[in-house]
Chains A and B, each alone.
Chain A
Amino acid sequence: MTTAWVGRGEPASWVRRIFGRKRIYGELAEEIRAHLDEKVEELVAGGMAREEAEHAARREFGNVMFAEERGRDVWRWARLEDFLIDVRYALRMLRKSPGFTVVAILTLALGIGANTAIFSIVDALMLHPLPYPHPSRIVHLSWKFPARVNQNLNDPEFKFWRGHSRSFASLAGISDERGVEIRAGTQSGWMKGLWVTDGFFHTFGVQPVLGRGFVRADTEPGAPRVAVLTNSLWRDFFHSEKNIIGSQIVLDERVYAVIGVLPRGFEFSDPPEYSERPDLFVAQRFAKGLGDTGYNTEVLGRLKTGISLAQANAEMRLLSSEFNAQAPPFLRVKGTMLVRSYQSYQEHAHRTILLLLLGVVSLLLLVACGNVASLLLARATARQQEISVRMALGAGRGRLLAQFLTEGLLLGLVGAAVGVGLAAGVLHAAVSTIPWNLPATSQIRLDNRVLLFTLLLGVAVSVVFALTGYFRSWVPDWSSALKEGGRTGAIGRRGGKILKLLVVGEVAISLMLTLAAGLLLDSLYRLYSQNLGFDPAHLVVIQTEPLPGKQPTTKAAFLADQREVLARLRGIPGVESAASVSVAPLTGHQNFPAQREGHPDDSIGGTEFRAVSPGYFSTMRIPVLRGRVFLASDVTPKPTVAVIDETLARDWWPNGSPLGGHIVVGEYKGHEYSKSRLVLEVVCVVGNTRETITRPSPPMVYYPGGSMQMDWVLRVRAARGLHAAIRNALSGAWPGLRIVSIRSMPQLISAAVAQPRFNALLLGMFGGLALLLTLVGIYGVLGFQLSQRTHEIGVRVALGAGPGDVVRLVVGQAAKLAALGIVLGSAGAMTAGSLLSSLLFEVKPLDPAVYVASGALLMLVALAACYVPARRAMRVDPVAALREE
């Protein structure tokens, strides 16, 4: 081998350099040996004794080791190798104090894991585009009034907008969503159906793979009934039958023709209140004339290419006044049509809670970081001597900083990795239990974006830690630190101040989180304990639906069937009383415009109506305030009497008695709204009831009788073991009824508060975590400070301080810091509190009781954290403490 192979311009020379370094080093050593040999030979030839010559040669050459080392240094990849050394060193440091390492990594993992989990939900709900082609062009239409937004339209409005607007490539109405019984050939089952107009599939950018979608003619009054199947229904129920198009299926006893099958992968997972995905789509057929004038149609559209949201909204404003100009008076609307992007409309339902949770978890991460930072600070002070030695040996500032960065990165990245594991576990276990009716639950996952977010978090906290440790331990004058021997290792004014600030900050943040959790828990408690206006205990609610084609043909026969069902229900052992109601509390609404007879100004557009059997009030235990409740003789095909609630009595008859007054159902501001106009005489006033758990109900009118859709309420001695008897009673008395559900009222309440309960649980959990972290943080800081003050305490004890004084010293400081934190946290919470108000129920964001309780809890935690340090301080032996000096 004679050529030198090392040179800059050679291809991939650095690769060879790394792998060929051993050889370079060998050659260098050989060359130096040869050099010395040659020198010795020369000197010996000159007459010097060999031994002396060897000495002289070495003298002339200088330090052989040093020359070799510096020669080798030329070839080193200094940065990388220093980094690897730092990593090894950092690992050793972390291994040396396993307690610190485990606490720090767990703390970080909790903080980062919570952020990862919440971010993945935010990512899925707010940052991911909807799974349809050109999703940004899909819009949602609603009426915007000065104070609120009404998300639904009625049929005349939908037809007007479809006919007159030019901003949309298509408009689609969704008018109903319900479970249907499907029969085809010999099989049958229950499926979820969605009633939609033509334009629906175009709006969502999907084409049937077999057959066709809906056209305008399919929605005309009296058109043949047609349905389009989702791919999964076609596969699972119809076994991918190729000749399905044109075949007939029976939905709820009505015959429909299958006209299309949608492609695989199209899933309509939507409006927040529609929790289950539809299995099939049914063409909505408009009624003759005006159509349905109830606000029951959700309207979606696809913007034409080149039309912006702003342009569409401008057209809507013009059309809104045009609509009112042509509409009959009772259909006029004092609002404008609002076009929103469908995505933002969907996000809207969850935005508040998601933003709140994001805020909460970032605060939690702050607490976690504060904790780890204070641990690091304490440790950095303890490491002062090590750092001083390193600086004395010539380590530059840059190398020290690199060292701390490496340690911080190790902590941060390991914490982030463990956190991702935690988040994945929690999401996997809990995502299906989130009661938010998430539109795209299956999309919540730890994708690349979430992982990148976590990585960035990990790096960010690492840098913070590195800087904390670096600035703390960078000693301007290492020689004096060395002399001190690190024994007293006083943390110094600045370090002590930072530690105190960290404690105050942690307490302040924890207080804010505790407050938020406290407010939500208080709301939840009030939701549970509020007076519903009826007695929910031992109440069973049965929801039934009439099966089409199996119904009594006259109203009188219908009422007779109803009486028969009630009689049989009352006959079940264990049932104290039974009654029927068109819509039981907490299960839905039924409303209609109404007017006080002769007083057009006393009109309410959405008066709640319930058809009830005479025993309803006693079964529900709704208090009767004035007058008499319904009698069996009041139940006639055309009702004439009404029972109203307190609210309506106060609204319409503020001064006189409502008894004997008349209500006109189906009339609004002097205009007839419906052909089924009824005049009812008020015979009774009863207490208000909650029909929705979170909101007071609008004014309520009860009338005697029944409706096709019927709920049954039973007052029982025990709610268990009744199902079979209930089923028997119903099917025996009225075979045309299908039981939709049998639930106890407490179950209904529980379902109704699922969302607030989940929110409170989540916040409670995060608040609890923050408290735990704060406890550990204060404990760590106090314990560390105590170890720094052993000498001082020893002096005090020697001068006559008793155990009480020592405890006061420790506890007093913690209490002061906690109090400062509580004040700052309260101030912060007061400014941020309004964010919570939409999630609260009958609790003000500034509820003093919650503030006091949270502050007390925080103080308690701070004092609990003092327990061990205070006991340790009391046991300080003055002699030993002083001898240490």
Chain B
Amino acid sequence: MAKKRKEPRDLFPGALEMMVLRTLKWQPLHGYALAQHIKRQSNNLLRVEEGSLYPALQRLLKEGLVKAEWGVSATGRRVRIYRLTPKGARHLEREVSQFEQMLEGITLVLAPGKT
């Protein structure tokens, strides 16, 4: 059923966190901008439910992978701006390489029958 594609959700545990870290690697952002950025980057294929971003951010904060500071956004509102920590950068690298391995594996398995 075509309708099902309308609700593409969190892909697998940790995927959202990985995307957040990846995005923050380029620049510090506040929550709203982060959500918009991830949506845009994924060409709306991966629609992140914006609400789920915040628990993910809290987890990253607790783990010490990102830092948050209160600041002022481009539109002049008081927002919390998240920034990758060095620990977060290392974590991202590890996660991405693991993810690529996994992807490679899945691709191999799913590839049409090359014997």
A3, B69: Cβ atoms closer than 8 Å? yes
* Minimal Cβ-Cβ distance residue in A for B47: A60
B51, A74: Cβ atoms closer than 8 Å? no
Contact residues, A9-36 vs B (CB, 8 A): 9, 24, 27-28, 31-32, 34-35
| Known contacts A60-B50, A71-B54, A73-B55: A38-B67 contact under CB 8 Å | no
Stretch of B18-26, B71-79, B93-101, B107-115 that contacts chain A? B71-79
- Is B63 located at the chain interface by the 8 A CB criterion? yes
Task: Report the minimal beta-carbon distance from A97 to chain B, rounded to whole angstroms.
Answer: 40
| Known contacts A2-B71, A31-B31: A74-B50 contact under CB 8 Å | no
B50, A6: Cβ atoms closer than 8 Å? no
Residues of B within 8 A of A41 (CB): 75
The CA-CA distance from A66 to B70 in the complex, in Å, is 24
| Known contacts A3-B69, A31-B31, A31-B80: A67-B54 contact under CB 8 Å | yes
Contact residues, A61-111 vs B (CB, 8 A): 61-64, 66-68, 70-75
- Is B46 located at the chain interface by the 8 A CB criterion? no
B75, A63: Cβ atoms closer than 8 Å? no
- Is B14 located at the chain interface by the 8 A CB criterion? no
- Is A185 located at the chain interface by the 8 A CB criterion? no
- Within 8 Å by CB of B58, from A39, A63, A71, lies A71
Task: Report the minimal beta-carbon distance from B100 to chain A, rounded to whole angstroms.
Answer: 27
The CA-CA distance from A583 to B62 in the complex, in Å, is 89
B51, A28: Cβ atoms closer than 8 Å? no
B51, A67: Cβ atoms closer than 8 Å? yes
| Known contacts A1-B70, A2-B71, A7-B67: A34-B54 contact under CB 8 Å | no
The CA-CA distance from A66 to B52 in the complex, in Å, is 9
Residues of A within 8 A of B49 (CB): 60-62
Task: Report the minimal beta-carbon distance from A245 to chain B, rounded to whole angstroms.
Answer: 78
A74, B32: Cβ atoms closer than 8 Å? no
- Is B61 located at the chain interface by the 8 A CB criterion? yes
- Is A430 located at the chain interface by the 8 A CB criterion? no
| Known contacts A3-B69, A7-B67, A61-B50: A38-B77 contact under CB 8 Å | yes
- Is A4 located at the chain interface by the 8 A CB criterion? yes
The CA-CA distance from A68 to B32 in the complex, in Å, is 15
A75, B55: Cβ atoms closer than 8 Å? no
Residues of B within 8 A of A66 (CB): 51
- Is A288 located at the chain interface by the 8 A CB criterion? no
- Within 8 Å by CB of B31, from A35, A72, A74, lies A35
* Minimal Cβ-Cβ distance residue in A for B55: A70
A8, B55: Cβ atoms closer than 8 Å? no
- Is B90 located at the chain interface by the 8 A CB criterion? no
Task: Report the minimal beta-carbon distance from B13 to chain A, rounded to whole angstroms.
Answer: 13
- Within 8 Å by CB of B59, from A31, A39, A74, lies A74
* Central interface residue in B61, B63, B79, B85, by most chain A CB within 10 Å: B61
A75, B62: Cβ atoms closer than 8 Å? yes
- Is A37 located at the chain interface by the 8 A CB criterion? yes
Residues of A within 8 A of B61 (CB): 4, 6-7, 74
Residues of A within 8 A of B62 (CB): 6, 8, 74-75
- Is B68 located at the chain interface by the 8 A CB criterion? yes
| Known contacts A4-B68, A34-B77: A63-B54 contact under CB 8 Å | no
B52, A8: Cβ atoms closer than 8 Å? no
The CA-CA distance from A72 to B55 in the complex, in Å, is 8
Task: Report the minimal beta-carbon distance from B114 to chain A, rounded to whole angstroms.
Answer: 42
A38, B70: Cβ atoms closer than 8 Å? no
Residues of A within 8 A of B105 (CB): none
A4, B69: Cβ atoms closer than 8 Å? yes
Residues of B within 8 A of A32 (CB): 31, 51, 54
A2, B69: Cβ atoms closer than 8 Å? yes
Interface size range of chain B in the complex = 20 to 34
A34, B69: Cβ atoms closer than 8 Å? no
* Central interface residue in B31, B55, B73, B85, by most chain A CB within 10 Å: B55
The CA-CA distance from A198 to B63 in the complex, in Å, is 76
The CA-CA distance from A70 to B80 in the complex, in Å, is 18
Task: Report the minimal beta-carbon distance from B58 to chain A, rounded to whole angstroms.
Answer: 4
What 1/0 mask marks residues of chain A from 230 to 255 whose CB sits below 8 Å from any chain B CB? 00000000000000000000000000
A75, B51: Cβ atoms closer than 8 Å? no
Residues of A within 8 A of B31 (CB): 31-32, 34-35
The CA-CA distance from A37 to B68 in the complex, in Å, is 20
Task: Report the minimal beta-carbon distance from A785 to chain B, rounded to whole angstroms.
Answer: 49
- Is B8 located at the chain interface by the 8 A CB criterion? no
Task: Report the minimal beta-carbon distance from B29 to chain A, rounded to whole angstroms.
Answer: 12
The CA-CA distance from A7 to B57 in the complex, in Å, is 13
Task: Report the minimal beta-carbon distance from B28 to chain A, rounded to whole angstroms.
Answer: 11
The CA-CA distance from A611 to B35 in the complex, in Å, is 115
Task: Report the minimal beta-carbon distance from B46 to chain A, rounded to whole angstroms.
Answer: 14
Task: Report the minimal beta-carbon distance from A682 to chain B, rounded to whole angstroms.
Answer: 103
Task: Report the minimal beta-carbon distance from B89 to chain A, rounded to whole angstroms.
Answer: 15
The CA-CA distance from A6 to B80 in the complex, in Å, is 13
The CA-CA distance from A32 to B31 in the complex, in Å, is 8
A62, B64: Cβ atoms closer than 8 Å? no
B52, A31: Cβ atoms closer than 8 Å? no
Task: Report the minimal beta-carbon distance from B105 to chain A, rounded to whole angstroms.
Answer: 31
* Central interface residue in A3, A38, A64, A72, by most chain B CB within 10 Å: A38
Residues of B within 8 A of A70 (CB): 52, 54-55, 58
- Within 8 Å by CB of B55, from A1, A7, A71, lies A71
B32, A63: Cβ atoms closer than 8 Å? no
The CA-CA distance from A310 to B79 in the complex, in Å, is 84
Residues of B within 8 A of A75 (CB): 58, 62
* Minimal Cβ-Cβ distance residue in A for B34: A35
Residues of A within 8 A of B69 (CB): 2-4
Task: Report the minimal beta-carbon distance from B115 to chain A, rounded to whole angstroms.
Answer: 46
Task: Report the minimal beta-carbon distance from A83 to chain B, rounded to whole angstroms.
Answer: 21
Residues of B within 8 A of A73 (CB): 55
Residues of B within 8 A of A1 (CB): 70
Residues of B within 8 A of A2 (CB): 69-71
Task: Report the minimal beta-carbon distance from B87 to chain A, rounded to whole angstroms.
Answer: 8
B51, A61: Cβ atoms closer than 8 Å? yes
Task: Report the minimal beta-carbon distance from A81 to chain B, rounded to whole angstroms.
Answer: 16
| Known contacts A4-B67, A7-B67, A8-B63: A37-B54 contact under CB 8 Å | no
The CA-CA distance from A71 to B61 in the complex, in Å, is 11
The CA-CA distance from A405 to B32 in the complex, in Å, is 45
A38, B80: Cβ atoms closer than 8 Å? no
| Known contacts A9-B64, A62-B51: A34-B70 contact under CB 8 Å | no
Residues of A within 8 A of B79 (CB): 31, 34, 38
Task: Report the minimal beta-carbon distance from A786 to chain B, rounded to whole angstroms.
Answer: 53
Residues of A within 8 A of B77 (CB): 34, 37-38
A7, B64: Cβ atoms closer than 8 Å? yes
Residues of B within 8 A of A71 (CB): 54-55, 57-58
- Within 8 Å by CB of B32, from A39, A62, A64, lies A39
The CA-CA distance from A21 to B62 in the complex, in Å, is 12
Task: Report the minimal beta-carbon distance from B31 to chain A, rounded to whole angstroms.
Answer: 5
B55, A67: Cβ atoms closer than 8 Å? yes
Task: Report the minimal beta-carbon distance from B57 to chain A, rounded to whole angstroms.
Answer: 8
Residues of A within 8 A of B30 (CB): 34
Residues of B within 8 A of A9 (CB): 64
Task: Report the minimal beta-carbon distance from A10 to chain B, rounded to whole angstroms.
Answer: 9
The CA-CA distance from A64 to B73 in the complex, in Å, is 22
The CA-CA distance from A71 to B52 in the complex, in Å, is 9
Q: Can you pick out 29 interface pairs between chain A and chain B where the beta carbons lie within 8 Å of each other? A: A2-B71, A3-B67, A3-B69, A4-B68, A6-B62, A6-B68, A7-B85, A9-B64, A28-B54, A32-B31, A32-B51, A34-B30, A34-B32, A34-B79, A35-B54, A37-B77, A61-B49, A61-B50, A62-B49, A63-B51, A64-B51, A67-B55, A70-B52, A70-B54, A71-B54, A71-B55, A73-B55, A74-B59, A75-B58
Across the A-B interface, the 7 shortest Cβ-Cβ residue pairs: A62-B51, A67-B51, A70-B55, A74-B58, A8-B64, A4-B68, A7-B64
- Beyond contacts A35-B35, A38-B73, A72-B58: 20 other A-B pairs, Cβ-Cβ < 8 A, are A4-B61, A4-B67, A4-B68, A6-B62, A7-B61, A7-B64, A9-B64, A27-B80, A28-B54, A31-B54, A34-B30, A35-B54, A38-B77, A60-B49, A61-B51, A66-B51, A67-B51, A67-B54, A70-B52, A73-B55
